Amino acid sequence: MKRRPFIKKLIQSTGGIYLASQSSLLYGSNFGTKTKGLGIALVGLGGYAGGQLAPALLETEHCYLASIVTGTKEKESVWAKKYNIKKENIYNYDNFDAIANNNDIDIVYVVLPNSMHAEFTIRAAKAGKHVICEKPMATSVEDCKKMIAACKDAGKMLSIGYRLHFDPFHDEIMRIGQNKVYGEMNVASEFSFMLKDPKRWRTQKDLAGGGPLMDLGIYALQGSIYSFGELPTSLWAKNTTIDTSFFKDIEGSLEWELTFPSGKSYCKTSYEKPIYAELKHNTEKGEVKLENAFYYGGLKGSTPDGKMEIKPVNQQAQQMDAFALNIIENTPSIVPGEMGLRDNYLIEKIYESADDNSKIIQLNDIPNILDIRRIK
């Protein structure tokens, strides 16, 4: 379950700006004990959990790594020693439901292959825990609805791992695009890298649910929506897979166009091209661009006025601290389950168009979920 380790090698996240608490208190389980915030259980100890989330939890102010859930016995002692995790806070996928009796755990972070997101989100909610679920939220709209319902029935919050909503470069992209700082615009976005290993779960449809659209394309999709601050009204898509002998069950490459009330966005994603990530606004007054746009760090931004002078942050630490504060202060997540549902809906429509000769699809029944924030 390695998650883009090559990005980790290329880019090292730097720095960390913490969200300020409105209180000087430290919160523990049930807010009764003085610990380092709310306890998080990481479910799935692959490359992303080990390379990004766990290290980020050493920097967070309002939450900490309290528990691990893994199907690999050998990882238990390694993680327990490295992160000082109590033996009773180590679980596997079979005894996972016993977390219901563990007051050290407040939040479950699901970091499993896509097809397992729904099961463990629902089980976590039934165990009485708040949930962060990695993107894509699930492999179907129906599963997304079940996940949202389970969390609501349990009275628990559900957030999706959209880390870029907590990155200041993307905040600036939102501000510029939503306020039309440089006039009317169209958007172009691409996220690609080479992945042709049949043993990797991302190339297996039963685990991934699809190809690069489910994994990388969702960033371009999200970037388009929050650049305009609007929901798309129609789309068309084209399967542009080159190696059809390898990519039989999933797409290897895909392109699509979204039409918004105030412009268009053309997006590309691929497992067949060298690593590349860009989000660009083509405006009346020139180009606004984010290079390395969807990486964990190393982002570079420019506008018609020059370079964006922005201090980088640890995206994962920001994201998890923000959710912890949502729980503590009873405020809504800016990346709720409903946003994940919306994006899964769009993914299904993109696949539908690609499978039907790039048919133009009207999005009349799109879930009406926009970013809660309007960047002024």
Active site residues: 135, 219
Asked if residues 174 and 149 have their Cβ atoms less than 8 Å apart, the reply is no
Give the separation between CA 78 and CA 74, rounded to whole angstroms: 7
What is the DSSP code (8-state) at residue 261?
T
Instruction: Please choose, from the candidates 129, 66, 65, 72, the residue with its C-alpha nearest in 3D space to the C-alpha of residue 97.
Output: 129
* Cβ pair 238, 257 in contact under 8 A: no
Which residues are paired to 336 by β-bridges? 159
**Per-residue tokens: 237:** 């898509």
Question: In this structure, what are the phi and psi dihedrals at residue 269, rounded to the nearest 5 degrees?
Answer: -150, 150
- Closest alpha carbon to 258 in 278, 281, 234: 234
Question: What is the 3-class SS of 279-317, one letter each residue?
Answer: EEEEECCEEEEEECCCCCCCCEEEECCEECCCCCCCHHH
Listed in order, strand segments (DSSP E) in the chain are 38-43, 63-69, 90-91, 107-110, 130-133, 158-160, 185-192, 234-239, 253-260, 263-270, 276-283, 286-291, 300-303, 306-307, 361-362
Per-residue HEC secondary structure of 330-373 comes to CCCCCCEHHHHHHHHHHHHHHHHHHHCCCCCEECCCCCCCCCCC
SS3 assignment, position 83: helix
Residue 64's SS3 state is: strand
Q: Please compute Rg for the chain using Cα positions.
A: 20
CB 26 within 8 A of CB 16: no
Dihedral over alpha carbons 343, 344, 347, 352 (to 10 degrees): -140
* AA identity, residue 117: H
